[in-house]
Amino acid sequence: MLQNLFIPSFQTNTGYVCDLTVTYQLFGPPLGTAPIVLVVHALTGNSTVTGSQGWWNTLVGPNQVIDTNEYTILAIDIPGNGFDGKTENLLLDYKEFHNRDIAIIQLKVIRALKITSLYAAIGSSLGGQILWELAIEAPELITHLIPIATDWKATDWVIAQCAIQEQILCNSTQPIHDARMHAMTFYRTASSFTAKFNRSIHEEKGIYNVESWLLHHGKRLEERFELATYKLMNHLLGSASITKERGGIHHLLKTIKSKVYLIAIDSDGLFYPEPIYNTHQLLKSVGVQSHYHEITSIHGHDAFLIEYDQLNNILTTIFNTKYKDENFKIWRKIAG
């Protein structure tokens, strides 16, 4: 069930002040009865992470690797994602917000729910960027930090892609539709397109199937997304950096108390693996317990939504009920 938290006069790091209504959902056992897992959604996601409409229900749910029989799941909507159907958050000045602000907003929800510890926090792409901010803002909160297909900063390549998206969103006559078509070309790879379409023709439309597929994705997002939402999410993705106004990366990473599990994708054309591996090396160099995993896939960035067997195998030692007793001991100790 969608729940609300009203945050009056929220001030962003830039000094912008506005009232916010933040929506969130809880799944699994009631709060206080089980370890808590925070799931942070990606650019087009929302707080419905599991259930019949859940966008990650092959990972989160009854008897899945993140088992809602064993873990309480908290998922918080990024304000302005439009999931609650209200318009006030869509009127935000999107360039005044950055991922640090989103992390602070999520912390306000966490504290309002009287949550003092998270067994794990997991998020992919934009969601993973927000996790990095959470880890810096609240170093003692998260036991297992799991950013997937993402890094603590937007590389020049990510910034470039988001700049093109911004131009399309501000200048196209079909902004959401056309920006989404462009985005699908860097969420996937040339090999993925060849494997899926192989220059096949859509007989009814008389165009290549890859063209039909891109048009379909543009139309689908146009039907369920607002322009203001896309502009905000794209801005957050392209402006990410935990070092902004904080100092050097070595000092920041050293403050992290979580066990960190970095998951990259070997063919990712947006958050390519090398910077993620470099972050792994940096974490180890400052004494943070870090584990690096790499998914093998032809599907690029979207592999975190496709290669579920590999992702399940990576996550199983953190979440599998085989380790339930140990997990509960850790949670009880942290929860006090």
In degrees rounded to 5, what are phi and psi of residue 291?
A: -125, 135
In degrees rounded to 5, what are phi and psi of residue 126?
A: -55, -40
pLDDT value of position 335:
52
How far apart are alpha carbons 109 and 98 in whole angstroms? 17
How far apart are alpha carbons 45 and 136 in whole angstroms? 23
Give the CA distances from residue 144 to residues 134, 147, 288, in Å, rounded to whole numbers and listed in that order. 12, 10, 12
What is the CATH T-level fold of the domain 157-236, as seen in this structure?
A: Rna Polymerase Sigma Factor; Chain: A (1.10.1740)
pLDDT level of residue 131 (50, 70, 90 thresholds): very high
pLDDT value of position 61:
97
Angle at alpha carbon of residue 324, lines to 321 and 327, rounded to 5° = 130
Per residue in 241-258, pLDDT tens?
999 999 899 999 999 999
Domain residue ranges in the chain? 3-153+242-335, 157-236
Q: Which two tokens stand for residue 327?
A: 């997990």
pLDDT value of position 84:
75
3-state SS of the chain is CCEEEEEEEEECCCCCEEEEEEEEEEECCCCCCCCEEEEECCCCCCCCCCCCCCCCCCCEECCCCEECCCCEEEEECCCCCCCCCCCHHHHCCHHHCCHHHHHHHHHHHHHHCCCCCEEEEEEECHHHHHHHHHHHHCCCCEEEEEEECCCCECCHHHHHHHHHHHHHHHHCCCHHHHHHHHHHHHHCCHHHHHHHHCCCEECCCCEEHHHHHHHHHHHHHHHHCCHHHHHHHHHHHHCCECCCCCCCHHHHHHCCCCEEEEEEECCCCCCCHHHHHHHHHHHHHCCCCEEEEEECCCCHHHHHHCCHHHHHHHHHHHHCHHHHHHHHHHHHHHHC
More confident residue, 9 or 329: 9
150: left (phi over 0), alpha (psi -120 to 50) or beta: beta
Per residue in 16-59, pLDDT tens?
999 999 999 999 999 999 999 999 999 999 999 999 999 999 99
The answer on pLDDT for 171 being more than 90 is yes
Whether 38 contacts 122, CB under 8 Å: yes
How far apart are alpha carbons 174 and 326 in whole angstroms? 52
pLDDT level of residue 261 (50, 70, 90 thresholds): very high
Count Cα atoms within 13 angstroms, Cβ side, for 147. Answer: 26
The domains spanning 3-153+242-335 and 157-236 adopt the same CATH topology: no
pTM score of the predicted model: 0.93
Give CATH for domain 3-153+242-335: 3.40.50.1820
**Which residue's structure tokens are 């880890």?**
135
pLDDT value of position 309:
96
Pairing of strands 118-124, 72-76: unpaired
Give the CA distances from residue 129 to residues 3, 40, 101, 182, 227, in Å, rounded to whole numbers and listed in that order. 24, 9, 12, 22, 22
How far apart are alpha carbons 3 and 202 in whole angstroms? 43
pLDDT value of position 90:
62
